[in-house]
Structure 1
Amino acid sequence: MRHTAAKAFTAVALAAALSAVAAPAMADPSTLPTLPAAQDIVGAGSDTTQALLNQFSVDYNASLGSGSTLPHLYSWDATGSATITPKTGAATINRPNGSGAGITALNGNTSATLDFARSSRAPQTGDLSSDLFVAFAKDAVTWSAKATGGHAPANLTTQNLFDIYSCAAGATNWSAFGGTAGTIKPYLPQASSGTRSFFLKAIGNPTLGNCVVTGPEENEGTNALLNDVDVIFPYSVGHWVGQANGHTTSSDDKGDLTLRSINGVAPLTGTGTLNAAFAAGTYGRVLYNVVRDTEWTATTTQGTALRAIFGPSGWICSTAGKADTTSYGYLTLPASACGSTTHI
């Protein structure tokens, strides 16, 4: 059984102005003059939320003030060098790519190496009871397809998606769904992706057929494999909106992919933001940062810092944190939900 709780903690003083939202987000902490300190709060994991957590790092650390000796916040990207040393004195580990890999790395190490994991999925079978999922934003997942010359239609149903990823007879050509004739190429992100596991569950957990290709990094529309008129690929709606808002890199970009409707409901509003009605349905999901429950409740420097960053009265749930969340394309959670905790 899952248990959910929301606890009030002392609020962090907000010293950074909202203009900090426009500041360029930092890259890997390895670009700093030195690695994060042993006491700093450091995480890794989900591709979906890495850009937003990078921005949180910039703005939260600025809020502490110059010369502050309090723990700072840092987050490692999902892709880059094969291995990382997250902070001073840490073990060198394989870079966690995806929600599942981040949670595995959190569980396989101590706070001397990692303090949290970014996760775009909720708790699931196989997670530890000590994994505490701390909510901070709302997202949704839909399917994407190439815009220029693409063969896919504007809408598919949940059953259509189930059949396509099952490679069912009669579901292998776009003409069967009102699109232009062309053999459908169903792609999925790499196996540890939270977006992948969420999407497959939402469409009914099909047994994947031989036509399905696994491999592209999630939410990277510029991947050459996706530059194909017949490809279908799940995509985070919030991440796509953030990319449309200019939060991009050479690889972290929507490219020529556009988001499509499911069951007749559009993932985007007329102004290009995440459609709350779409996010309220089957394809909506809460985003989390995962911590160890004993550290979350501890009266240590680390426990205090974790709550000051991720908690109900922490920085991410503050006005400044929510401004970052909105800028990066996600929906903010109400006060009763932001910073709430869930576990298996």
Structure 2
Amino acid sequence: MRHTAAKLLAATAITASLATVAVSPAAADPASLPAAGSIVGVGSDTTQALYNQFSTDYNTFLTSSGSTAPRLYSWDATGSSPLTTKTGATSITRPNGSGAGITALNANTNATVDFARSSRAKQATDPAGFDFVNLAKDAVSWSAKAGGNAPANLTTADLVAIYSCTKTNWNQISASLPNATIKPYLPQASSGTRSFFLTAINGGGTALTPGACVVTGPEENEGTDAALNDVNVVFPYSVGHYVGQLNGHTTATDNVGVLTVRQVNGVNPLTGTNTLNPAFAAGSYGRVLYTVVRDTEFGVGSQLRAIFGQSGWVCSATGGKASITSYGFLNLPGTACGTF
């Protein structure tokens, strides 16, 4: 670890004396190059806006308390590339998605990347020495253009048929639907949302192999992509991210655009007040979101644990919990946040 014992003790003291910090608007990429000792992350599109808010609020907290502990920064999934994450870092291709973020964490030292944002669970191919630290609860549903040909509800069997291309016309789903070709889309290959969705509709074991009619390409959770402005589109969407967008956490591209999220098996992913429906998140389409760290750097007293651990800033009522809700996700029950 690069932090001295004094810094680690200071980090622990900071965590123990948390104070409420007024929420300021979150930026996107860091406004300037972070210092060499900063805590820096990359990865998932689903949680990038939330981690930007964490960065703003945590750094404000450190400044207000007079702490010299390393500041927290998070780089968005899209933007200019290659990317220099902090002073002295190795230049890398900007990681777009959970898988790409985890790969970058594995390929570099903490001089370049300290953590990865992930919207999928640990897989057998991930490094054994990585901890997937619980952050919050989300769910993934499907979306379609408002006023288009898609129905309000699809079953899991319908989604399997659509994404395996065994049903390609809406009137194959129901005789009451139009005679029109379904256009199933998926996010980029490294997307955790894509990986989770294909696994969830396939029963939770292995991911469904998409059929030849499926188009890969639109950035996940962005209803503004021109390809999605079609009356026949079907596209997976993080429900939490969608709620966060409805709550005003948007940019010109990162917003719901023309899409609305729809029901699966008759269960609405949204409540009547447009929050993530806990009943939907409790089912097979619910997922946990993670901060991925190297196990050797997540020990008791470490700066990473002081931020993301069970007793850390992110998991505290006066730290990250309010932002987790504001950005559309559900706080994990009890002391589940920060565990791995």
- The answer, yes or no, to whether TM exceeds 0.5 is yes
Matched, 1:95 2:91: no
The Cα shift of 1:97 comes to 0.3
CA distance in structure 2 between the aligned counterparts of 1:80 and 1:53, rounded to whole angstroms? 16
Deviations 1:141-163 (A, max 9, x none): 00000003x00011111111111
Matches within 5 A, 1:61-80: 61-66=59-64, 68-80=67-79
Deviations 1:283-341 (A, max 9, x none): 00000000000011165xxxx21011100111110113110000000000123210001
Aligned to 1:157: 155
Say which structure, 1 or 2, has more relative contact order (CA 8 Å, 6+ apart): 1
Matched, 1:271 2:273: yes
Matched, 1:28 2:61: no
Gaps of 5+ in 1: 1-8
Secondary structure, aligned partner of 1:93: coil
Matches within 5 A, 1:97-176: 97-148=96-147, 150-168=148-166, 171-176=167-172
Identity %: 68
CA distance in structure 1 between the aligned counterparts of 2:300 and 2:275, rounded to whole angstroms? 38
The one-letter amino acid of 2:17's match is A
CA distance in structure 1 between the aligned counterparts of 2:88 and 2:19, rounded to whole angstroms? 30
The one-letter amino acid of 1:14's match is L
Aligned to 1:191: 189
The Cα shift of 1:38 comes to 1.5
Contact 1:12–1:315, Cα closer than 8 Å, also in 2: no
Q: With the length of structure 2 as denominator, give the TM-score of the two structures.
A: 0.92
The Cα shift of 1:13 comes to 2.7
CA distance in structure 2 between the aligned counterparts of 1:152 and 1:79, rounded to whole angstroms? 29
Secondary structure, aligned partner of 2:298: helix
CA distance in structure 2 between the aligned counterparts of 1:239 and 1:12, rounded to whole angstroms? 30
Gaps of 5+ in 2: 1-11
Deviations 1:39-74 (A, max 9, x none): 111000000000000000000111112453211110
Aligned to 2:328: 329
Matches within 5 A, 1:252-263: 252-263=254-265
Deviations 1:237-267 (A, max 9, x none): 0000000000000000001100111111110
Deviations 1:201-236 (A, max 9, x none): 001133321110000000000000000000100000
User: What is the count of residue pairs matched by the alignment?
Assistant: 320
- The more displaced of 316-325 and 96-105 is 316-325
Secondary structure, aligned partner of 1:57: helix
The Cα shift of 1:12 comes to 4.3
Secondary structure, aligned partner of 1:234: strand
Q: With the length of structure 1 as denominator, give the TM-score of the two structures.
A: 0.90
Aligned to 1:284: 286
Secondary structure, aligned partner of 2:320: helix
Contact 1:16–1:59, Cα closer than 8 Å, also in 2: no
